[in-house]
């Protein structure tokens, strides 16, 4: 059995110790914010925080993180108040959104190490891939997150996400009424 902390909760996995952390998180813990992208550690969609450093969870076994503290996108901020989350929303970074959790986790780790990174440092540190090509917006969002973290910027309450996190996982209302068989 492998033991470590996930999002401030002690966990014990009864999985093969060589199981990738990604699959333990997604399949055993149902933390699906951590994405499977390439499986080779190149794309960064699976990035999580392990004891303060960004780690590609697809290439890290649960045995390698025994005794550590792992934070996923779900555990970064329950109220979506982390400066990186707020800045990514305010800067409208998301396009398809698949890569965003990995970028957010990598950016949070970067800002912990360097609260005022230059554009060059951001680009060199965030090696995650985005197929939509939103890199300029990501750079600006990380710079803004740094300013938020340092208290040099503020995001007005009206610009914050309007979905209650408790409702976000619930059923999505239908946008169009379903057609009846007699309507076809």
**Each residue's pLDDT tens digit, 146-161:** 999 999 999 887 656 5
Q: Tell me: the pLDDT tens digits for 120-132?
A: 999 999 999 999 9
Instruction: Give whole-number Cα distances, 157 to 42, 108, 160, in Å.
Output: 36, 21, 5
Instruction: State the Cα–Cα distance between residues 45 and 42, nearest whole angstrom.
Output: 9
Domain(s) of CATH 1.10.150.120: residues in the chain: 83-153
Starting from the edge strand earliest in sequence, which strands make up the sheet with 69-71, in order? 9-13, 2-6, 69-71, 47-50, 53-56
Counting every residue written for the chain, the total comes to: 184
Instruction: Tell me how many helices (H) and strands (E) the chain has.
Output: 7, 5
Q: Percent of the chain having pLDDT more than 70?
A: 85
Report the sign of the C-alpha dihedral through residues 144, 150, 154, 157, in that order. positive
Mean pLDDT, residues 57-79? 96
Beta strands in the chain (DSSP E): 2-6, 9-13, 47-50, 53-56, 69-71
Compute CA distances 40 → 15, 30, 46, 77, whole Å: 21, 21, 10, 28
Res 183 pLDDT > 50: no
Residue found under tokens 């800067």: 91
- Whether 4 contacts 63, CB under 8 Å: no
Residue 169 has pLDDT above 70, yes or no: no
Q: Please give the distance of CA 155 from its chain centroid, rounded to a whole number.
A: 20
**Domain 83-153, CATH class in plain words:** mainly alpha
Where is average pLDDT lowest: 75-79, 134-138, 173-177?
Answer: 173-177
How far apart CA 155 and CA 80 sit, in angstroms, is 13
Q: DSSP 3-state assignment of 47?
A: strand
Residue ranges, comma separated, of all CATH 3.10.20.30 domains in the chain are 2-75
Q: Structurally, what CATH architecture does the domain formed by 2-75 represent?
A: Roll (3.10)
């Amino acid at each position: 059995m492998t033991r470590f902390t996930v999002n401030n909760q002690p966990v014990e996995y009864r999985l093969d110790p060589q199981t990738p952390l990604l699959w333990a998180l997604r399949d055993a813990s149902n933390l699906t914010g951590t994405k499977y992208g390439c499986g080779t550690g190149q794309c960064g969609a699976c990035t999580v925080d392990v004891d303060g450093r960004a780690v590609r969870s697809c290439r890290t076994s649960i045995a390698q993180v025994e005794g550590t503290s792992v934070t996923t996108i779900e555990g970064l901020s329950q109220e979506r108040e982390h400066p990186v989350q707020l800045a990514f929303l305010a800067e409208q970074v998301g396009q398809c959104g698949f890569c965003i959790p990995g970028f957010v986790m990598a950016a949070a780790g970067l800002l912990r190490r360097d609260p005022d990174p230059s554009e060059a440092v951001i680009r060199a540190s965030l090696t995650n891939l985005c197929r939509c090509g939103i890199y300029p917006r990501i750079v600006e969002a990380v710079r803004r997150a740094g300013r938020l973290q340092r208290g040099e910027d503020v995001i007005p309450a009206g610009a914050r996400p309007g979905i209650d996190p408790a409702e976000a996982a619930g059923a999505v209302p239908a946008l169009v009424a379903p057609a009846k068989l007699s309507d076809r």
